[in-house]
Structure 1
Amino acid sequence: MKKFVFLILILVAAFVAYEALMFYDNNFSYGRMRETPAVKPYEHPLLIMEPGTVPFEGGEALYRAATPESLVSSVPLDDAEVIGRGAKQYFTYCQQCHGLQHDGNGTVGQSFAPLPTDLRSGKIQQQSSGYLFQHISYGIGGTGRQPALATTVSIDKRWEIIAYIKSLGTRKK
Structure 2
Amino acid sequence: MKKYALLAIFIGLPALALAALYAYVFYTGPRMKVQPHIRAYQTVAPLPPKGTVPVQAPSPLPSAAEAGRFKNPLSESADTLGRGKVYYEYYCVFCHGDEGAGDGPVGESYVPKPADLRGGKIAAYDDGTLLRGMLTGIGHQPVLEQVVPQEHRWYLVAFVRSLQKR
TM-score, normalized by length of structure 2?
A: 0.62
2:148 to 120, 131, 153: 153
Q: Is the 8 Å Cα contact of residues 95 and 102 (structure 2) preserved in structure 1?
A: yes
> How many equivalent pairs are there?
123
Q: For residues 100 and 59 of structure 1, do their structure 2 counterparts lie closer, same or farther at Cα, with a shift above 3 Å needed?
A: closer
After superposition, residues 25-64 of structure 1 pair within 5 angstroms as 36-38=43-45, 60-61=59-60, 63-64=61-62
Q: What is the CA deviation profile of residues 116-171 of structure 1, one whole-angstrom value per residue up to 9, with x for unaligned ones?
A: 0111112212211111100112223xxx3433211111122111011001012256
SS in 2 for 1:107: coil
1:132 to 130, 133, 136: 130
5+ residue gaps, structure 2, are 1-34, 48-55
5+ residue gaps, structure 1, are 1-26, 41-56
2:164 aligned partner: 169
**Identical amino acids, percent of aligned pairs:** 34
Q: Is the 8 Å Cα contact of residues 80 and 158 (structure 2) preserved in structure 1?
A: yes
Q: For residues 36 and 84 of structure 1, do their structure 2 counterparts lie closer, same or farther at Cα, with a shift above 3 Å needed?
A: farther
TM-score, normalized by length of structure 1?
A: 0.60
2:70 aligned partner: 71
The answer as to 2:106 corresponding to 1:111 is no
User: Whose radius of gyration is greater, 1 or 2?
Assistant: 2
* Runs of at least 4 residues off by over 3 Å: 32-36
1:47 aligned partner: none
1:3 aligned partner: none
